Amino acid sequence: MFFGSKKLLGLDIGSTSIKLCELDFSSSKGTLQNFIMIPIPVGTMGGGEILDIDRLSSTITKMVRDLKSGRKHAVIGMWGTSVFIKRISIPKVDAKLIPEQLRFEAEQHIPFDINNVSLSHHILPFLSTSETVDILLIAAQNEVTRQYIQVLESAQLETSVVDVSGFALANLFEFNYGKSTKDNFLILNIGAQVTNFVAIEAGEVIFCRDIPVGGNSYNAEISKNFGLTYQEAESLKLSASKGQEVPEGVSQTISQVNDQIIDEIRSTLDFLKVTNQGFSIAKVYFSGGGSLTSGLMQGLSKSLDLNFEALNPYRKITAGKKVNSSYLQQIAPFVSISLGLGLRRADDK
């Protein structure tokens, strides 16, 4: 769904928090005019699906009011198992016939009923040959898509674009770092429930997957091992990440969960390399609250034997008058998806 306004709100509904940003930008620089992040009401989201539309929309309505923005058009990002993304090759046909061919191909690949999904695609010209066309196929379950749109409408916002959280990460990366045609990169956004895993080759997304591990994995194990609530477990995890003293065994539990998350990410990377032979990685950029966990990024870098660097969302984005510069740095690990959504234009195709 597309509208004429180019001044949009970027809305990232995660599993434990909601981020809303107001961003002005040109082709070379941006200004973050305002940003709000609040905890999500318990029981309103699960695995990327909206469980309580009324409570969630009421929360977003209050956020928009507090933002004091006149913007009424928003971009929202979907994530989780309701979105399926896969690179496929199809016989070369006239561009007008691709949607028809794509529907047939999608039936062979996607795990959903073809009659209950919306399909989109992006051609990868640098991978295509004289006989085939390589395409990134995107399928989203209609019912879940409608949930996201309904939440915005209930919050008195118009849906300009329904995006994918992983693509929003790639959008922010390209805006800040440029579109390299020489090097390949990975972007990892380690959130509470999922880790967004995005692979970029020749400046294009060729692989995008949500791995079901994140910061909540630590909370669950600490809670189970020490008989604590999730909130108490979260507090201990944060204390350990800051180098503060924690009860004996907490650091060991965090280390064990680190190993589990590293194994999941390594398995996904192995799959990527098998399905994209010859894919070599120049650097891995990371973001998300889970990336702050003690020992995780160091362990990933060592295990994967790759160069890791924190994704800087502000290389070309500065703070507006309503945003304190020190606050900007505090929220840096959490803003990437919302900023990537806010960078979309309503006339993007």
pLDDT tens figures, 134-183: 999 999 999 999 999 999 999 999 998 999 999 999 999 999 999 988 89
For position 127, what pLDDT does the model report?
Answer: 74
Going by C-beta distance under 8 Å and a sequence separation of 6 or more, which residues neighbour residue 36?
19, 20, 21, 63, 66, 67
Rg (CA), the chain: 20
CB of 82 closer than 8 Å to CB of 140: yes
How confident is the model at residue 167, as a pLDDT?
A: 96
Q: What residue spans define the domains of the chain?
A: 87-138
Token pair for 150: 């309904």
Three-state SS letters, 7-43: CCEEEEECCCEEEEEEEEECCCCEEEEEEEEEECCCC
| Contact status, residue 183 vs residue 282, Cβ threshold 8 Å | yes
Specify the pLDDT at position 3.
34
Please tell me the predicted confidence (pLDDT) of residue 262: 97
pLDDT for res 220:
95
The third-level CATH classification (topology) of the domain covering 87-138 is Dna Ligase; domain 1 (3.30.1490)
pTM: 0.93
Q: Give pLDDT, residue 276.
A: 87
Q: State the pLDDT at residue 1.
A: 31
Contact call for residues 23 and 33 (beta carbons, < 8 A)? yes
Mean pLDDT by groups of 10 residues along the chain of 349 residues: 60 96 91 95 93 96 93 94 92 84 87 92 82 91 96 94 96 94 94 96 94 95 94 92 90 96 97 89 96 95 96 95 90 96 73
Would you state the pLDDT for residue 130? Answer: 79
What stretches of the chain adopt beta strand conformation (E)?
9-13, 17-25, 30-39, 45-46, 49-50, 73-78, 83-91, 117-123, 132-141, 158-164, 185-190, 195-201, 204-211, 283-287, 308-310, 317-319
Q: Which amino acid is at 338?
A: S
